[in-house]
């Protein structure tokens, strides 16, 4: 079992920027990390079915916050 992000509901399966376009299946089903990032920009969740489970990011969770939770990109 992997950690699930409460902001976008992506299940962290170890996928990173170097393989963000790869669809791994597994806990995130048919989504690549890149698709999930685009979905988050459009609908506020990694996938339409997850919109009811998400919440707004806390200040320290923003990508530009400089914290471990805020490192990385939320869009391509």
Does residue 6 fall inside a structural domain? no
Do the Cβ atoms of 26 and 13 come closer than 8 Å? yes
Range of the domain at 34: 17-70
Does residue 21 fall inside a structural domain? yes
Does residue 11 fall inside a structural domain? no
Do the Cβ atoms of 71 and 62 come closer than 8 Å? no
Q: What is the 3-state secondary structure (H, E, C) of the chain?
A: CCCECCCCCCECCCCCHHHCCCECCHHHCCCEHHHHHHHHHHHCCCCHHHHHHCCCCCHHHCCCCCCHHHCCCCCC
Higher-pLDDT residue of 36 and 64 is 36
To the question of pTM greater than 0.85 for the whole model, the response is no
Question: What's the pLDDT tens digit per position in 27-59?
Answer: 898 999 999 999 998 999 999 999 999 998 888
Question: What's the pLDDT tens digit per position in 3-36?
Answer: 899 999 999 888 888 899 999 888 898 999 999 9
Domain count, the chain: 1
Does residue 7 fall inside a structural domain? no
Does residue 8 fall inside a structural domain? no
Does residue 50 fall inside a structural domain? yes
Does residue 3 fall inside a structural domain? no
Does residue 2 fall inside a structural domain? no
């Amino acid at each position: 079992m992997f950690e699930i992000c409460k902001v976008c509901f992506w299940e962290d399966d170890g996928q990173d920027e170097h393989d963000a376009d790869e669809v791994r299946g597994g806990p995130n089903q048919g989504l690549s990390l890149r698709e999930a990032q685009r979905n988050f920009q459009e609908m506020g969740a990694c996938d339409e079915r997850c919109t009811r489970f998400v919440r707004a990011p806390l200040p320290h969770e923003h990508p530009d916050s400089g914290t471990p939770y805020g490192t990385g990109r939320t869009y391509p």
